[in-house]
Structure 1
Amino acid sequence: MKIDIPVIANCLINGSAQEPLLVADLAAYVLKNKNMVFPHKHSFYHFVVFTAGTGSHTIDFKRYEIKPQQVYFMAPGQVHTWEFQGDEAGFIVNFNSDYFQSFLWNTDYLMRFSFLSGALSDCLMDLDAQTFKAISALLTELITLQQQGADADILRSMLLCVLLYIEQTQGHKKPLTQRHSYNATIYHNFRKLVDQQFKSKRLPKEYAELLYITPNHLNAICKDYIGQPAGEIIRARVVLEAQRLLINRQLSIAEIASLLKFADNSYFTKFFKKQTGHTPEEFRKLTS
């Protein structure tokens, strides 16, 4: 029984060899992979910078209209698809989740970038003219260096410069000291645990125990960091997984309820409708 949608595991997409990094011209990439218009996941980080184009890009069931000077970030496991109009231009970057681990002492370094968290609130940025120009120049240079077979650490350094420049110039809501504070670390660890255990653990107190803090403290951190209580984050993750499974028409609603550890189909349907405003069957019709 197939229980998931396609997962692309190779940064090169159609390449025969496994490579940890791909930096490419967007128009050429789309032309080469023009059949990939079905919902799919990546096992790597993926971001797209648009210099031109029209159409839409859907990430975890949220549809975005494409505009020039935008950048979209996707974390491993997110579901996405595109509907381009054939006039797209820009850059595409794929890199493995462990791409920097042999390069940086802090193996959790990528946690500092909120736009790589997989949160829809952070996945899209409209770049100002100066940032757009600088990022385009860096990515153009990165493509050239990659084609010339530059040393891997040079490529890593260049990509890290791109990520750091975007973070520094895009004016995140919280000051840098708050984004890299103890509470920020707790928050990111909580999100990581939710991704790993949302099927079996649905209560904030269960995660608070794993983090060695009180449920009240966990709620306070979540509210301070993104304005939502911990319980809401857990429920949103369950709903997201349900939506991802509902795309697979081979699975019945009862099978999805079982996969998500609901007591029965009825309870799952009530939960899903309360969170989304639609029954699972209605959601399937909307996404067909």
Structure 2
Amino acid sequence: MKKEFPVYDICKFSYSQEDDIIVKPLAPYLRAMRKLHFPHRHDFYHLIFFTQGGGSHTIDFEKFEIKPYHGYFMAPGQVHGWDFEGDIDGYVINFSAGFFKPFLLNNQYLENFTFLNGNIQHSVIDIDEQYRSPLTELLNKVLVEAESTGRFRLDKLRIMLLEFFFLIAEIKGESGDVKSIENHNQIVIRNFEKLIDKHYLQLRLPKDYAELLCVTPSYLNSICKELLGLSAGNLIRNRIVLEAKRMLINLELTVTEIAYKLNFSDNSYFCKLFKNQEGVSPETFRKTL
């Protein structure tokens, strides 16, 4: 019988229990972790950059075709699994949520990088040919430093990873002038998404989030539609349904129990919301897993 998606901590993947970071070539890493093709979660950031191979990679129930020079950036808590074809290789980087805390004064600094926020719309990246050589050169340097034993090894890895993030931001077109990139509406949207992730079990209405963001509900809804193509209410409901999907893998949980865990007092309302968002009932969705 299927259980909930297993959650793995970084120590289970590390040769050193003291490390908050792992950097490995992808092929030997996958051989060592060959049993982890089934869906699972990590409690750390998990970055994969493919240089060869094919197949599919599923993140939070969305399937992506694996291609050389595609990168996947996963935040703690996301569910993923894979079905590889051919000889797979590339790079894998795992680091804990606290890895940068001793180094950065601003503990929220990584939130500047949209590809690290757990939103699947931003976290799958196709690397243009002009960037492939500098990116692989940088990742090779990270690999070498990860295997070193120098006194400043971890701090040098932090610097190199930030350089890697800056390069990815440039590839995604997110490293331009602050005034043009980080405009007010984008900041509001980003903060809205963070608040949803934190409060979706308690706050279900756009007006609740608008109040926290110090904007009007109509303004919040307008910029969500303009920038994301979805209403503010849809963003909230999508987050609830995503968590429901993650729970539905556990056959020991009934739909009623899942509704209760998601803070629904009425199971029928939960089922209606799920079907409105997904087009199928929770039970029908469960049968597809």
| TM-score normalised by length of structure 1 | 0.92
Specify which of 281, 284, 287 is matched with residue 282 of structure 1. Answer: 284
Residue of structure 2 equivalent to 1:250 = 252
- Cα distance change on mapping 1:18 and 1:7 into 2, 3 Å: farther
Q: Which amino acid aligns with 1:207?
A: Y
How much has 1:218 moved relative to structure 2? Answer: 2.1
Please state if 1:268 is matched with 2:240: no
Q: Which ranges of 4 or more aligned residues in structure 1 deviate by more than 6 Å?
A: none
Residue of structure 1 equivalent to 2:238 = 236
Specify which of 218, 227, 230 is matched with residue 229 of structure 2. Answer: 227
The CA RMSD over aligned residues, in Å, is 2.1
Q: Which amino acid aligns with 2:144?
A: T
How much has 1:205 moved relative to structure 2? Answer: 0.6
Counterparts in 2 of 1:59-74, with a 5 A limit?
59-74=59-74
Q: Provide, for residues 31-65 of structure 1, a one-character-per-residue CA deviation record: whole Å limited to 9, x for no partner.
A: 00001122111111111110001111000000111
Residue of structure 2 equivalent to 1:201 = 203
How much has 1:187 moved relative to structure 2? Answer: 2.3
Q: Which amino acid aligns with 2:196?
A: V
Q: Provide, for residues 188-222 of structure 1, a one-character-per-residue CA deviation record: whole Å limited to 9, x for no partner.
A: 22212111111111101111122222212322343
Q: Distance in 2 between matches of 1:190 and 1:211?
A: 7
- Cα distance change on mapping 1:224 and 1:11 into 2, 3 Å: farther
Partner SS state of residue 262, structure 1: coil
Residue of structure 2 equivalent to 1:133 = 133
Q: Distance in 2 between matches of 1:186 and 1:8?
A: 33
Residue of structure 1 equivalent to 2:144 = 144
Q: Distance in 2 between matches of 1:104 and 1:267?
A: 44
Question: How many equivalent pairs are there?
Answer: 286
How much has 1:147 moved relative to structure 2? Answer: 0.4
- Cα distance change on mapping 1:11 and 1:123 into 2, 3 Å: farther
Specify which of 163, 167, 170 is matched with residue 168 of structure 1. Answer: 170
Counterparts in 2 of 1:55-204, with a 5 A limit?
55-150=55-150, 151=152, 152-171=154-173, 176-204=178-206
Q: Distance in 2 between matches of 1:3 and 1:264?
A: 25
Q: Distance in 1 between matches of 2:28 and 2:204?
A: 44
Answer with 153-162 or 78-87: which moved more: 78-87
How much has 1:250 moved relative to structure 2? Answer: 1.2
Q: Provide, for residues 149-192 of structure 1, a one-character-per-residue CA deviation record: whole Å limited to 9, x for no partner.
A: 24221111101101101111233599753443343333222212
Residue of structure 1 equivalent to 2:45 = 45
Gaps of 5+ in 1: none
